Structures are given as structure tokens and as C-alpha cells.
Amino acid sequence: MSPDTLQLSWRARLCRWAAAGVAAWAAVVAGCGGGVGVGGTGAYASGPVTGFGSIFVNGIEFEDRNAQVEDESGASRSRDALRLGMLVEVESGPIGGTSSAPTATATRIRFASELVGPVQSVDLAGSSLTVLGQTVLVASGRTAFDASYTEGLASVALGGNVEVYGFYGLNGRLIATRIEPRGGTLAAFKLRGAVSGLDLGARTFRLGALTLDYDGVVPPTGLRDGLIVRVTIATTAVGGRWKVLTFEDGVRRLPDRGDARLRGTITAFATTRSFSINGQPVDASTATLENESGIALGARVEAEGAASGGVLRATRVKVDDGGAEVGELRGTIEASFPALQTFVLRGVRVTYGVNTEFQDGSAADLNVGREVEARGVLSADGTRLLATRIRIR
């Protein structure tokens, strides 16, 4: 991530429009189904992890002590597997707390990356890299790097395998929220994206610059150009084609929830009142729109409302202002480097200075084993949290 940082940061004619035959919107709400309900009980949030202490997602602090944590395959994982910038889906009880500090108790947390494969090029000037034929953009103050990448993008080695979490923007480019290394020998590579160049006869299609061969593999229902899919592929191409090993729909259906919040990019767009975020359909027909002119294909937005029938019936949609993301970390200091005005908390380097506000203590208290809370922004290179406030506990 970079100096802009980890900001933490809303119901119901969609199906009726689709039924009426609004062609442009039909593609967005395919599979809408269901009626216009207010959603199920509890809450749901989808977005990047922006803090720990419990876990912070979309501005909500979720108590995760008893939550079931799983990866995209459904395998159980430890809470310790969660990292800053990972894209997660959180299912929880009702959201309480206050409007400025909402809280909830998570029951399930699921994380999934977009891309696993070798780095083919690194463009420091353009703040991007190419992985498996996919262009990955590094956003200043918004892309978090694993601690092993001490200099951020400059530390990423050609040929090394990486795992990338993020959102898809215009022209299929992936806007990274987290990049971390993948060591050892991989049995398969992985990627998610929108199908293009589909050839039903040859049973091939493209994801980014990669040509994939799915002969012998059953594709998702309704395979077509523009469909978002998730695949694993062989680690070696044959004749310029990469063999698909597993093949599935790349968008999970929204669960029915009375309170649902999405954060990401607009991946399909009909009007400012009907679009998709990260492939998930949004009906904003009765929503309050903040900065409506900025709601467009590829824009980063936040939406909240109720989810039913696989559709978010938004009450509020807000365009990401592009400013610094705010992150918050709570826990025990794992390492301390006073001379560098730095300590490590939840695997993240935290840097402080003359502009850092201390509460209930001072820099002299930042010793290994001490419980602290640190709030700040991600450094421009995505390697540190620049603390604006530290509370000694």
C-alpha cells in the first residue's frame, strides 16, 4: 500500500426492470431471481481488510474470535492467515456500535485472491507488474505488500511466484490491494477474470493476454464473453495455450442479509442506478448517490443496503474519493526498533514520529510484548503503517 492508505471506511426495481426487458441491465442482473425483500437477518460485508484487533472491513470492526475462517476452496484456516489488504467476505450478526464506530460479531470470514503465478515484468515507473499475462496495478497508499517485500514493488523479483488480491478495473487490469510471495513449487497457477475471445469450437478463451484451453473440462453454465470466471491452470503452456484444470463461476451469489455492504470497482454498468460491484449486481434505483457523476465503469465505490435474491438493493452509494486509506491495528508488539522509530504489530511495520499523537504513554513504552493500538495510513510503497495515533494499553 502507499501513503494514501487503508481507508476504512449503501432497494427495488431491478428485478422488475429486468423482467420488463431492459436489455442493457439484463446482463448485469442475470440470475437476479427472488422478490424484492429486505434481505435476511444479520449483516454481510465484502472488501479489503484494513485493520486488525478484531478485523476491520468496510469501516466495521468485526469481532472474529469465534468466526469460522476459510479460503476460497472452503478449507478451514486460522485467523492468523488473515493479512492487511486481503479481499474478504464477512458474515455476521447485526451491526451495532455507533455510526462512527460500527461493530458486529463475525460468524464466517472467507478470503480469496485473484491471481497466483510468476512475475513476467515489473514497471517501477508505471507502478505495475505483469503476472501470468495479467496487468496488475499498484496503487499508492492502497496496495499492501507482504513484510518480506521491504521496498514494496521494487522488491518483487522477476520469475518469482506471487499471490495478488484486488479489484478489476478498466480493460481487465487488476488493481492490487495486497501482493505477497508464493514460495515452493506450485502444482497449479490460478486466476480470475472476464472471458474474452471465446471460441466454442476450439474450446479456448482468453483471460487478459493468456489463451486458455478448456477441452475436457466442464465450463460454468452460460459461458460467454464477459462472464467472470475463476480457473486453475497447468504451470506450463503447450503451443501457446494454458490447460485449464478447474473451472468455475468467478462471482459468488450475495447471501440474503438485512444489512450488506460492498466495496470495490464497478465491473458492469448500465446507468448510475443499475450496475455491478465486483461482479455482484446492485439496484441503486432508490439510493442516495454521493458524487453521482463519478459512478461509472471501473470506478471504485462503496455501496450499502439490503441483499435479497442475489442483488444488493442499495440505500447509499459513495464514490471512493481516492484519498488516503485509514488503517487500525491492535495487538502485542512483536519487535521494536526505537532508533528507526518503528515497531512490528500484527506482522505490519508501524512507523511513528513527531506528528504521532500518543495516548496513555509515550514512545518509551513501545517495548516487545506491550499491548498497543495504532491508527494511521499506509505508506506510499505499501510496506508500513504511518501512525497518526498510538494508544498504549
Which of 144, 53, 69 has the alpha carbon at shortest distance from 103? Answer: 53
Task: Judge whether 71 and 112 are in contact, CB under 8 Å.
Answer: yes
Residue type, 382: G
Architecture of domain 326-392: Beta Barrel (2.40)
Alpha carbons 87 and 193: distance in angstroms, whole number: 15
pLDDT (mean) for 307-335: 90
Task: Answer yes or no: CATH 2.40.50 is held by domain 116-181.
Answer: yes
The cell numbers describing 371, all together, are 499491548
Specify the pLDDT at position 100: 86
Model confidence at 258: pLDDT above 90: yes
Task: Judge whether 262 and 303 are in contact, CB under 8 Å.
Answer: yes
Task: Judge whether 383 and 389 are in contact, CB under 8 Å.
Answer: no
Alpha carbons 391 and 374: distance in angstroms, whole number: 7
The cell numbers describing 122, all together, are 515489473
In CATH terms, are 116-181 and 326-392 the same topology? Answer: yes
Specify the pLDDT at position 39: 53
Alpha carbons 386 and 191: distance in angstroms, whole number: 32
The cell numbers describing 134, all together, are 495479467
Model confidence at 31: pLDDT above 60: no
C-alpha 379, offset from chain centre? 18
Specify the pLDDT at position 30: 36
> In which band, very low, low, confident or very high, does the pLDDT at 40 lie, cut at 50, 70 and 90?
low
Model confidence at 251: pLDDT above 60: yes
The cell numbers describing 223, all together, are 459461458
Residue 228, CB half-sphere, CA atoms under 13 Å: how many?
22
Alpha carbons 322 and 90: distance in angstroms, whole number: 24
Instruction: Label the pairing between strands 204-207 and 210-213.
Output: antiparallel
C-alpha 292, offset from chain centre? 23
Model confidence at 188: pLDDT above 70: yes
The cell numbers describing 131, all together, are 503476472
How buried is 65 (Cβ within 10 angstroms: 0-12 exposed, 13-18 middle, 19+ buried)? exposed
Residue 354, C-beta contacts closer than 8 angstroms, at least 6 positions apart: none
> In which band, very low, low, confident or very high, does the pLDDT at 325 lie, cut at 50, 70 and 90?
confident
CATH topology of domain 189-249: OB fold (Dihydrolipoamide Acetyltransferase, E2P) (2.40.50)
Least trusted range by pLDDT, from 104-113, 276-285, 315-324, 381-390 = 315-324
Alpha carbons 214 and 200: distance in angstroms, whole number: 10
pLDDT (mean) for 374-381: 94
Return the domain boundaries, the chain.
14-112+253-319, 116-181, 189-249, 326-392
pLDDT (mean) for 153-161: 96
Task: Judge whether 225 and 196 are in contact, CB under 8 Å.
Answer: yes
Model confidence at 364: pLDDT above 90: yes
Indicate the length of the chain as a whole number: 393
Model confidence at 7: pLDDT above 50: no
Output the average pLDDT for the chain.
Answer: 89
Residue 17, C-beta contacts closer than 8 angstroms, at least 6 positions apart: 25, 29, 274, 285
* pLDDT single digits (tens) 86-99: 999 999 999 999 98
* pLDDT single digits (tens) 333-354: 999 999 999 999 988 999 999 9
SS3 355: coil
Backbone phi, then psi, for 274, in 5-degree steps? -150, 115
Q: Which residue has the higher pLDDT, 204 or 11?
A: 204
